[in-house]
Amino acid sequence: MSKITVSTLNKMKAESNKITALTAYDASFAKLFHENGVEVVLVGDSLGMVLQGGDDTLAVTNQEIAYHTRCVRAGSRDLFVIADLPFMTYANPNDACKNAAELMRAGANMIKLEGGEWLHDSIKSLTQQGIPVCGHLGLTPQSVHVFGGFKIQGREEAQAQKIIADAKALEAAGAQLLVLECIPSALAKRITDSLSIPTIGIGAGNVTDGQILVMHDLVGISAGYIPKFSKNFLLETGNMPAAVKKYCNDVKSGVFPSAEHEFK
């Protein structure tokens, strides 16, 4: 696999070639994913739950994300690595730039932040400083206490319209990628069709330009429950390389996610 860049991802969207992504937290899994077809890895603040055993992602620090980003980058020079900006590390443009710079120096190709139109100034500042940005809408885990739990977003039309407006605002501000989490598949399609930047879904049906899963869910070893939108590929295949390959093949072909994994 050749080196993956933003241009690669844009070309994949234009050609309707699905983007495959997984979370990764160390060099060994980054190498395994690269060798078996994954194009994008996210060093997610999900590590607060799957690695640290927390109930949510809020305790994760920027230093921890930077550490795991360095580990992931050591596993592959060619993967496209996105790193999460953790809770309250981008409350204003200055904080966003300072903390994003640390993650870029650690080896990230892009940073990800959660939220809508209110992030306009921060995204503009980041991109002006040469830092590519991935947005994140729908169920944004850092806002779990505002939502009252991990709940599906965008089922009511007013909320759906707000998410669509936020998606357009993020693109207008300079975001080059967008994660859509736990929203109805019909809404995911409306957003994907309205944007020129690629969308990556998790619990958003198979209508987005790509898919991402938490790696622990992919192999059925998450400390908590396995989400509705996930699937244990290790159970089907019996070994890790085959599980990753099947995930990539099923995403590319549109087999995964199927109707049983999506929200209406």
Catalytic residues: 181
Q: Which residues are annotated as a binding site for 3-methyl-2-oxobutanoate?
A: 45-46, 84, 112
Q: What CA dihedral angle connects 12, 229, 52 and 56, to 10 degrees?
A: 110
Instruction: Look up residue 119 and give its amino acid.
Output: L
List the binding residues: 45-46, 84, 112, 114
Estimate the share of the chain in helix, then strand, then coil, as percent rounded to the nearest 5: 45, 15, 40
Binding residues for Mg(2+): 45, 84, 114
What gap in Å lies between CA 27 and CA 46, rounded to an integer?
A: 17
Q: How many CA atoms lie within 13 A of 199 on its CB side?
A: 29
Q: How far is CA 69 from CA 41, 94, 110, 170, 259, in A?
A: 10, 21, 11, 24, 33
Which residues, including other chains, have CB under 8 Å from residue 114's CB and lie 6 or more apart?
Answer: 135, 136, 137, 140, 141, 142, 143
The token pair at 5 is 């860049």
